[in-house]
Amino acid sequence: MSIVDIPEPDRVEGAPHPRHTVQLFGQDRAERGFLDAYGTGRLHHGWLITGPRGVGKATLAWRIARFLLSREEGGGLLGDTPPLPDRLDLAADHPVSRRVAALTEPGLLLCRRPWDDKRERLKQAITVDEVRRVKSFFNLSATEGGRRVVIVDAADEMNVAAANALLKILEEPPARSTLLLVAHRPMALLPTIRSRCRVLACAPLGPGDMASALAGAGFDAGDDTARLAQLALGSVGEAIRLLSQDGLEMYGELVRLFAHDTGLDRQAAIRLAESCSGTANAARYDLVLRLLAVLLHRLARAGVVATGKSPEAAPGEAAFLHRFAQSAPAARRWADLAEALASRGAHGRAVNLDPAALILDMLLKIDQVAGSLKAA
């Protein structure tokens, strides 16, 4: 496989890579937090950029990288430092932007899951060899001076050996170095890594920012933007996946399965489960698993938050949530089930359980809890 054909593990399929994304929406607070720290002249060497998957963490990391490297080029060690701006914006035609987009910027290193030539697929974790590249990068560029930036995306994908190797770098960071750790699950990182980084928290996007971010990535959800923001839990990356896979329609189908007074529509449930079987339907299988998790999340949330405060993610969803999630105890039942089914799904995929059997089992367990709450 040629290098141009190798998939990038840090890019949502169908969307531009974060290094090519010029604008960032909905994360003004996190961006301002970094600029405030930079303005003090005491820039921390390690930054942990956290938040749900797909809300712009990597885009923020690349904006920070371009900003830091352009400050060096605009003055830094060789001249007067440019005045501090109020945003991290850098023109796409700036020399640093062009080099970063092409991954030819000498002051930048990207650390991510590598390609496995033997198995012809991406490795499941960031390996220790990748983190050793970080150490070599710092050592080789030390004599050149200037700012050096490393982006680790995603840091929670490091294996144990890689995490320990990165910890040693954080314990004795080179001068004028900045490590930007993108983390979807920061609690999966070593506590000692977290303690040596300053946190920038990114929040889920609302409908307005979601529409702007989707437009920037070349997508238009139109009148479905509010529903999409709800269903994607404020994640632009997930919204793009849902748009690409007809996720809104699928979620509506899941809601309709439980809309009958008599309970789960068993025949429709069987048809749905069987549609997830086979290699050709792997993407559909993954989509249904993700949407079942969202369904349970919204049921649990509806038990403690008034459902009228947020728009429906599918026609008839409000009535569905009202029927089965009217109290805090109900919310607890749904949260427990969400946790159990998440473990069940992970185990099922690990041991290659038949997708149809796994999906049908999940639907039946949801119906069982719904029935017990309805009878209570």
pLDDT at position 311 is: 73
The whole-number average pLDDT for the span 344-368 is 94
pLDDT at position 5 is: 65
Strands across the sheet containing 46-50: 108-111, 148-153, 177-183, 46-50, 198-201
CA distances from 6 to 9, 24, 122, 155, 349 (A): 9, 26, 8, 20, 24
Decide yes or no: CATH 3.40.50.300 for domain 3-201.
Answer: yes
Q: Could you report the per-residue pLDDT of 19-40, keeping only the tens digit for each? A: 999 899 999 999 999 999 999 8
Nearest to 184 by CA among 349, 54, 335: 54
Q: Could you report the per-residue pLDDT of 164-217, keeping only the tens digit for each? A: 999 999 999 988 899 999 999 999 999 999 999 999 999 999 999 999 999 988
The secondary structure element, H or E, covering residue 237 is: helix 236-244
CA distance 47 to 237: 22
- The answer, yes or no, to whether residue 106 has pLDDT greater than 90, is yes
The whole-number average pLDDT for the span 228-251 is 93
Which residues make beta-bridge pairs with 121?
Answer: 116
Residue 1 confidence class, pLDDT cut points 50, 70, 90 = very low
Task: Specify whether the CB–CB gap between 144 and 69 falls below 8 A.
Answer: no
Provide the 8-state DSSP code for 204.
P
pLDDT at position 335 is: 94
What contacts 133, CB < 8 A, 6 or more positions away? 109, 111
CA distance 188 to 40: 31
Half-sphere exposure of 265 (CA within 13 A, CB side): 14
CA distance 299 to 4: 43
What is the rounded average pLDDT for all residues in the chain? 89
> pTM for the full model?
0.86
Encoding tokens for residue 105?
A: 């910027």
The whole-number average pLDDT for the span 235-240 is 93
CA distance 90 to 96: 9
Portion of the chain with pLDDT greater than 90, in percent: 69
Residue 10 confidence class, pLDDT cut points 50, 70, 90 = confident
Secondary structure of 275-313 in the HEC alphabet?
CCCCHHHHHHHHHHHHHHHHHHHHHHHHCCCCHHHCCCC
Q: Could you report the per-residue pLDDT of 44-95, keeping only the tens digit for each? A: 999 999 999 999 999 999 999 999 999 876 544 444 556 778 899 999 999 9
The secondary structure element, H or E, covering residue 113 is: none
Q: Could you report the per-residue pLDDT of 299-326, keeping only the tens digit for each? A: 998 866 554 456 788 988 988 888 888 7
pLDDT at position 119 is: 86
Torsion over CA of 15, 18, 20 and 24, rounded to 10 degrees?
A: 100
CA distance 247 to 239: 9
Task: Specify whether the CB–CB gap between 291 and 276 falls below 8 A.
Answer: no
- The answer, yes or no, to whether residue 144 has pLDDT greater than 90, is no
User: Domain boundaries in the chain?
Assistant: 3-201, 245-375
Encoding tokens for residue 342?
A: 């998440």
Encoding tokens for residue 148?
A: 């050096």
Task: Specify whether the CB–CB gap between 300 and 292 falls below 8 A.
Answer: no
> What 3-state DSSP class applies to 139?
helix
pLDDT at position 84 is: 79
